[in-house]
Each structure stands twice: as structure tokens, then as C-alpha cells.
Amino acid sequence: MKRIFLVGYMGVGKTTIGQVLAQRIVFSFIDLDKYIEGRYGMTISLLFKEKGEEAFREIERQMLLEVSSFEDVVISTGGGTPCYHSNMENMKKTGITIYLRASTEELARRIETSCNIRPILAGRRGEELREFIRNSLQQREMFYNQASLAWNVPSLETNADIQQVASSLADELHRTVEK
């Protein structure tokens, strides 16, 4: 087990769970969006705004290829990362991919508090937000479902919830690797 890629919709908990999972299995942790921001010295929102989505997706692809060569690392990807270029194929070739999933209702509940920092969601609330999530998931799930493993993430309200999900995932990874 050299690389673990966490994929899934925004707000599902890829970064939160990834950090704890990495600690449990004694791996490094990389949030791909933060990695890109550090390399380019600007936020993902600003990169999108200044360079456009096509250029951003190419930057994302290059940075994903770079971190795909690191060893003993858990990598939290952006929600759209698996859906562009051959990113999902690359992740599957170089590591274990895990699709973290939650219901539309749970995602909307989590995301609603962070709409201000997610430009694509600006001004969306309630049913409009749930509809946006449903439509986005419908388009993205064909990529997410290619992951080696799918894992339900019901609630992340407490530290105990996060620890429990990370612990169960770590156990499953050890079983998977031992096969």
C-alpha cells in the first residue's frame, strides 16, 4: 500500500477523514487542492477565475501526476479531479482509490455552512442546493464508482464520528492489502 486516493463529492469529508486515516496507518497526508494552492500561490477559486476551468484542470492533472509518485501517502482529491483527463485511471494504476459517499441530504447539510467559500455554490440554499448536488452527483458518479472501494460516510458531527470512519477504513485497507 503506497498511495491511497480519496475521491468523492465536495463536503463528504475527504480531507477530514484523510488526515485521521493517514495518522492511523502512519502515512503522510496531502490535500491536492492545498498542494496546488501552495505551488501556485493562490486559492483554487482565484486560479479558476484567472486561468479558467480548462487551464485549472490541466494544472490539477499535472499536480496529481506529481503526487502520484509519492509513497506512503493518503491524497484527498478535489471533487472534480476524477472526472477530467485520465485522472481516475492514473489514480487506479498508482494506488488504491476510495470513493467516500454520503446522501444528498447529508452533503447539502454539510455544504450549506460553507457555500461562501465555494464559488460554484454561491447563493444556493435549501432545495436549490440539493438539486444542484443531485445533478452534479449524477454526472460524477460514473467516475467515482470506478474506485477500488466505496465507503459510506453517514455523519461527521463529532470527533468520535471521524475517528470511527477512519478506523473502519484503516481496518478495511489492511484486509484488502492482505488478500
What percentage of the chain carries pLDDT values higher than 90? Answer: 78
| Rounded-to-integer distance, Cα 37 and Cα 123, Å | 24
Instruction: Please state which CATH number belongs to domain 3-160.
Output: 3.40.50.300
pLDDT at residue 114 above 80?
Answer: no
Tens-digit pLDDT profile for residues 138-156: 999 999 999 999 999 988 8
Query: Position of cell 484523510?
Result: 18
Q: What is the DSSP letter of 122?
A: T
| Rounded-to-integer distance, Cα 138 and Cα 157, Å | 26
pTM score > 0.85 for this model? yes
Instruction: Say how many residues make up the chain.
Output: 179
Closest to 114 (Cα-Cα) out of 129, 127, 99, 95: 129
Q: Which residues face 152 on adjacent strands?
A: 101
Burial of residue 14, with CB atoms counted within 10 A of its CB: 0-12 exposed, 13-18 middle, 19 or more buried? buried
